[in-house]
Amino acid sequence: MATSSSCSSLKQHFLVFLIVIISSIINSPVNGCFTSIFSFGDSLTDTGNLLQISLSDSTKPPHSAFLPYGRTFFHHPTGRFCDGRLVIDFLAEALGFSFLPPFYGSQSGKWEKFQKGANFAVASATALNSSFLAEQGIHSVSTNISLGVEVNSFKHLLPSLCSSSSYCKELLRNSLIVMGEIGGNDYNHAFMQGKHIENIRKLVPLVVDIISSSINELIELGAVTFLVPGNFPIGCSPSLLTKFHGSEKDQYDPLTGCLTWLNQFSQHHNELLRKELENIRNLHPQINIIYVDYYKAAMRFYHSPKKFGFKETLKACCGIGGLYNYDPLIYCGYPPLKQSCNDPSSYISWDGIHYTEVVNKWLVHTVFEELMSTIPSLGSLRPSSTFGKFRKKMQNLQNRGHTAVWPSCVPHTAETHTRISIRVTIELGTHSRVPARVLTRVTL
């Protein structure tokens, strides 16, 4: 009788334990994976939005619509401001997604392709409203889209992806939100248009506030996991180095050749952004706010270029003229600049403003380091040199029983008929009459 009672008690404890395990998996913000990715930002994340906008309103296509853009990976232009893939492309690929489709230019009612995510980033987009910037004498020649417009576009799309408020919250709870990088154009446009640095510094808290309010808007809708990159070291950009060529010698970093005061400006933005993200964390402790230090990650390339295979750190691969192979009046892709360097992988800068594909590939490693430090279920992953191998490694880990690895899955929700199989392993005491290892498979 004692043995029977003991077994009954053990079964009851096991059932309670199993329910707790299942509940924690189902109610986890990301279930160890994401079911969709939604991204916002500018040309560093734009996978074709500006191109689609130009095609839909019959304006002049951006120079990213022409070769040599896209030459390295796609072998044709896609609207990406790069010779190949962007950070968001590598991130999506590593998490088991297809490349995120651009939202703009899509026909209303044909939004099924956005079920697993959408890209709202538009090249030349700013954080601040274009009309406000125009009042400050700062203009964008390519688009009047700002972060607020992108977020509103997402809110317009959302009801088409989920049939009820509760399901929309469930969708967002299992989505990864990539918020930027955004704000760089607010500063770049101002610097290139000759605005004084003290006036530009006044924009920084306003830019950070817009990023913060956009995150809070999405939190109210149900989003719980955000990647928020900081600004890059703009003092190393060939475009701004060309703009301020001839500056006093002591304004340059002797080790890198970058303009110190411009990099300090980027650090100022990043410092304010990090403080504001900490405020959001304090207000919403259940939310994952993951800051990605693009500045620190990118500076490694300038401090140790040979380590990463770079021969040219401050020259544009696709450019013409001057010390930095950049002319602000002659765009890569537009005649006469239809050729690029022979080996983009040996350059940090692609066109004087944007990075080469190989830089983006390195940068996504930093993204994963931040993801893994925040989301334990990704803790055993290490991006390899190629994401095909990385993906295979993820699958091999799962096959060997590493239950922390879920490279792709769909959450259990009231509006889906998903069957989630959960393997639970329980180690029991050696004094129990029950076998030492009980392996139970539960299907919901």
- 354: annotated active-site residue: yes
Whole-angstrom Cα distance, residue 292 to residue 230? 6
Residue 337, SS3? Answer: coil
Q: How far apart are CA 147 and CA 359, in angstroms?
A: 25
- Of 419, 410, 426, 405, which Cα lies nearest the Cα of 18? 426
Q: Are 119 and 49 in contact (CB under 8 A)?
A: yes
Of the candidates 46, 83, 89, 351, the residue annotated as catalytic is 351
Q: Look-up: residue for tokens 């817009």?
A: 210
Task: Work out the end-to-end distance of the chain between its first and last CA atoms, rounded to an integer number of angstroms.
Answer: 33
Structure token digits, residue 393 = 């490694």
> In terms of DSSP H, where are the helices of 174-203?
184-192, 197-201
Of the residues 39, 43, 237, 349, only one is catalytic, namely: 43
Among the listed residues 63, 189, 269, 354, the single catalytic one is 354
Residue whose entry in the numeric block shows the structure tokens 């995510």: 117
| 432 annotated active-site | no
DSSP-assigned states of every residue in 39-101: EE-STTT-SSHHHHHHHHTTPPPPGGGSTTTTTTTTSS--S-SSSS--HHHHHHHHTT-PPPP
- What residues are labeled active site? 43, 351, 354
